[in-house]
Amino acid sequence: MKVVATVGLGANLNDPAAQVEYALGELDRLPDTRLVARSNLYASAPVGYVDQPDFVNAVAQVETALAPRALLAALLDIEHRHGRARSFRNAPRTLDLDLLLYGDARFREDGLALPHPRMHERAFVLAPLLEIAPDATIPGRGRAADWLAACRDQSLTRLPPPAAVVNA
């Protein structure tokens, strides 16, 4: 059985926009998984540890037959291949992939909570999510649009799409 899962992507090191774009392609190549929607890229100020570069963020939806744990393991493997180092909480990173939603699942296990426990507090998750799923709801919390209104004070800028390559 296939489920639509939502993944948050972010990076602020080593050409963050390219890191996120490449990771979007990698999501589409996961086993039994296909990318069904992706947001534009957004720039956001860091949260927690603020003495670091701004982030580039996006949200993607995938249709997958992978179980939540298997999908999370695949996301962590992509992070590892991008050189993700977890030196301290909220540290700068080459790539961060968060499993935000897995259908309407609601559960907490060691190392995995669905929906993501802080997604409703983050404009850099909510705005791109609403771009691709305007009627999105967060299980147990309600409409994502209602939560975005509470994040108005967070810095977030939609980035222009990359310039088209012209063949001469």
Q: Pick the catalytic residue from 69, 84, 104, 135.
A: 84
Contact in structure between 124 and 58 (CB atoms under 8 Å): no
Cross-strand pairs, 102: 5
Q: Any catalytic annotation for residue 98?
A: yes
Task: Give the gyration radius of the chain's Cα atoms.
Answer: 15
Q: From its phi and psi, is residue 103 left (phi > 0), alpha (psi between -120 and 50) or beta?
A: left
Q: Any catalytic annotation for residue 118?
A: no
Q: Pick the catalytic residue from 29, 69, 86, 96.
A: 96
Q: Any catalytic annotation for residue 77?
A: no
Q: Pick the catalytic residue from 15, 32, 81, 98.
A: 98
Smallest CA-to-CA distance from 132 within 2, 7, 17 is with: 7
Q: Pick the catalytic residue from 28, 93, 110, 118.
A: 93
- Residue 94, helix vs strand vs coil: coil
Q: In sequence order, what E strands does the chain have? A: 3-11, 33-38, 42-44, 55-64, 96-102, 107-109, 112-114, 137-138, 142-143, 156-158
Q: Any catalytic annotation for residue 28?
A: no
Smallest CA-to-CA distance from 120 within 21, 6, 12, 39 is with: 6
For the annotated catalytic residues, the residue numbers are 84, 93, 96, 98
